[in-house]
Amino acid sequence: VGLARLPHQNSARRQRQGAHLTLMVAGQPGCGKSTFINTLFGTPLLAISQPPPPTSQVKLHRFDLEENGFRLRLTAIDTPGFGAAIDNRQAWLPLVDVVENSLRSHVFQAHQPDRSELLDMRIHCCLYFIVPSGNLTPLDIHTLQELSVRVNLIPVLAKCDTLSHDDMLRFKKLVRQVLRVHSIPVCGLVLDAVVLEKIAAVAPYAVMGASSVHTDQAGRPVRGRKYKWGMAEVDNCNYCDFAALKSILLTDHLLDLVEATEAHYETIRSQCLSQRWVQASKIDRNLSITNPNYESLAQKVRQGFDQHVAAEELRFKAWKNALLDKQELMNQELLATRTLLLKVQAEVEALQ
């Protein structure tokens, strides 16, 4: 009949269509995010900035990659200035906005009459790079909390080659405790329990990046960083989780991340459609709930409006006082003129 050929048809179709992956890397400057992306795909995709730009603006990078005839459309989202400001209380908002706006944009595009040019910007996975300082900052914890409910989040211990093996194990244990205490799931959108257990078993992933290829003691070419005391290999599973993370992102579970994002998108789409007919009286309340920055912005607008009203009141008061002064002066002049008139009339009567 030919039913046995259906899997081959599906495989050939996938081969022709290729795949699309949107990957966001977040974390403080200098964590090696760009180097990791270059190492993950084996080519210098992102430029290494030294020092990082002093901006929290999100940057998008699009690439077309191909291996053995299979094409991958990659979108890498970088946050070069995240956490670099003096006041970082709301530094997590741009990251959350990027995730939410990507979903809303897809909802909007999907309901257009012409969807031939639909641009899929939905983020399939977010790698949050943690500074290898031995502790997590309040900004790290709050950002992880906010992102974990919106995207497939994977915490990453950056630059693991700067830590000893024991320090790395202690740091990983600490991060796991923080994730458990604050109820922060790893890839919480993934529906397959087996895949989810596999991903969470290693998290947080201790990784390092390297663009150089060296020769190990056996004479084999390996990627890594060479030091005076020896060499740290990127793909060595004894002290680096790079290979395990690559398996999650590319080799074994890329489609699981895509399917999880699709399922989450359907939930967001349903919510967006159900909220289309919101009463005007509820808009402010909904904004204040969904956007933590709304209250501060509204307060600034109210303060600006109050200042403008006060300035206008002072201007009108000064104008009123000027008119009253002018009226008083004219009344005095009128009174003086009347007094002079009466005096002249009296003199005329006296002459008669």
Domain spans, the chain: 3-274, 280-352
What is the predicted pLDDT for the residue at 1? 60
d(CA 222, CA 38): 15
Per-residue pLDDT tens digits for 276-319: 655 555 655 665 555 666 667 778 888 888 898 899 999 999 99
How far is Cα of residue 305 from the mean position of the Cα atoms in its chain?
31
Cα 139 to Cα 27: distance, rounded to the nearest angstrom: 10
Residue 36's closest CA among 155, 123, 129, 148? Answer: 129
DSSP state of 5: G
Contact 232, 168 (CB under 8 A): no
Average pLDDT score, the chain: 84
Q: What is the largest CA-CA distance in the chain?
A: 140
- What is the identity of the amino acid at 348? V
Q: pLDDT at position 278, please?
A: 56
Tokens standing for residue 246: 């690559």
Indicate the angle between helix axes 93-110 and 254-274, nearest 10 degrees.
Answer: 80
User: Residue 31: which of 76, 75, 81 has the closest Cα?
Assistant: 81
pLDDT at 84 over 90: no
Q: Which residues of 230-267 are buried (b: 16+ CB within 10 A; e: fewer)?
A: ebbbbebeebbbbebbbbbbbeebbebbbbbbeebbee
| Helix and strand numbers, DSSP H then E, in the chain | 10, 9
CB 110 within 8 A of CB 266: no
126 contacts: CB under 8 Å, gap ≥ 6: 23, 24, 25, 26, 95, 99, 147, 151, 152, 153, 154
* 8 Å CB contact between 154 and 205: yes
Query: Residues 130, 268, 100, 278: what is their CA dihedral angle, to the nearest 10 degrees?
Result: -140
Residue with structure tokens 């257009």? 112
Amino acid identity, position 149 = V
C-alpha distance across the termini of the chain, in Å: 140
CB 208 within 8 A of CB 161: yes
Q: What pTM value is reported for the model?
A: 0.74
* Residue environment code for 172-205, b if the CB has 16+ CB neighbours within 10 A, otherwise e: beebeebbeeeebbbbbbbeeeebbebbbebbbb
More confident residue, 294 or 17: 17
Query: What is residue 151's predicted lDDT score, i.e. its pLDDT?
Result: 92
Confidence category of residue 234, pLDDT binned at 50, 70, 90: confident
Average pLDDT over residues 115-119: 76
What's the CATH number for 3-274?
3.40.50.300
Any alpha helices (H) in 30-123, and if so which ranges?
33-41, 93-110
Question: Which of the given ranges, 48-57, 90-99, 145-154, 211-220, has the highest pLDDT on average?
Answer: 145-154
